[in-house]
Amino acid sequence: MTSPIVGIIMGSDSDLPVMQGAADILQQFGIEYEITLVSAHRTPHRLVAYAEQARSRGLQVIIAGAGGAAHLPGMVASITTLPVIGVPVKSSNSIDGWDSILSILQMPNGVPVATVALNGAKNAGILAAQILSINNPALADRLHGYKQQIQSEVENKIQKMKSSGLNNQFDVG
C-alpha cells in the first residue's frame, strides 16, 4: 500500500455517510487516501497536530467535512499551506444546512477554503483529483474518461426520451 496523498477528515462519525462519497470517487480514480475524525470543537489539539503534520506526512490535498458551526475546514486551512476543500454537511444539529454552508464558505481574506455544495463530498473528491492531475498525466486521462462517461449517460437519456416519443428538435450536429 502506498502512502495516502489525500486526507479526508470530518467532525463526527455522523458525517461519514456523506463523506464516504469523497472516498468512493478517489478510490475510483486510483488515488490513495486516508480517512479519520478530527473535531474542531471536541479535539482541538488533534486538529492542530493533523494540520501541522499534513504536508510532511505526504498529503497533498485535504478534504474536510463538518456540519452546524463548521469550523473544521477553515481552522485546518489556517494552519496548513495545502489546499483545503470544505464539504458542508447537513447534520442533525444544522439549521437546514445553511449554517454549515456559510461557516465553510465565508472565510475571511487570506485563508481560502474551496467549498463544494451541501453534502457535496463526491465533488470534493473530483476536485481533489483535478488538483492532483496537474502533475499527473495518467490521472488527467482518467478524469477525461470520467467526463466522457457522464456525457454519454446524458446522451443515452436523450435517446430514451426521443424513443418514448418526446418532441426533441435539437441536436448538436
List interacting residues with ligand RP5 (CB under 6 A). Answer: 10-12, 14-15, 39, 66-68, 89, 91-93
Please state the closest distance from residue 103 (CB atom) to ligand RP5, in A: 10
Please state the closest distance from residue 116 (CB atom) to ligand RP5, in A: 15
Please name the residues in contact with 98: beta carbons below 8 A apart, sequence gap of 6 or more.
Answer: none
- CB nearer ligand RP5, residue 23 or residue 31: 23
Q: Distance (Å, rounded) from C-alpha 104 to C-alpha 73? A: 7
Judge contact between 84 and 104, C-beta under 8 A.
Answer: no
Q: Distance (Å, rounded) from C-alpha 91 to C-alpha 156? A: 35
- CB nearer ligand RP5, residue 93 or residue 152: 93
- CB nearer ligand RP5, residue 91 or residue 133: 91
Residue nearest to ligand RP5 (CB): 11
Please state the closest distance from residue 64 (CB atom) to ligand RP5, in A: 9
Among residues 89, 123, 74, 99, the alpha carbon closest in space to that of 17 is found at 89
Q: What is the DSSP letter of 171?
A: -
- CB nearer ligand RP5, residue 89 or residue 132: 89
Residue 8 CA from chain centroid, whole number: 8
Please state the closest distance from residue 70 (CB atom) to ligand RP5, in A: 6
- CB nearer ligand RP5, residue 66 or residue 114: 66
- Hey, is 33 helix, strand or coil? strand
- Dihedral of the CA atoms 112, 117, 121, 125 (nearest 10)? -60
Please state the closest distance from residue 111 (CB atom) to ligand RP5, in A: 19
Judge contact between 118 and 146, C-beta under 8 A.
Answer: no
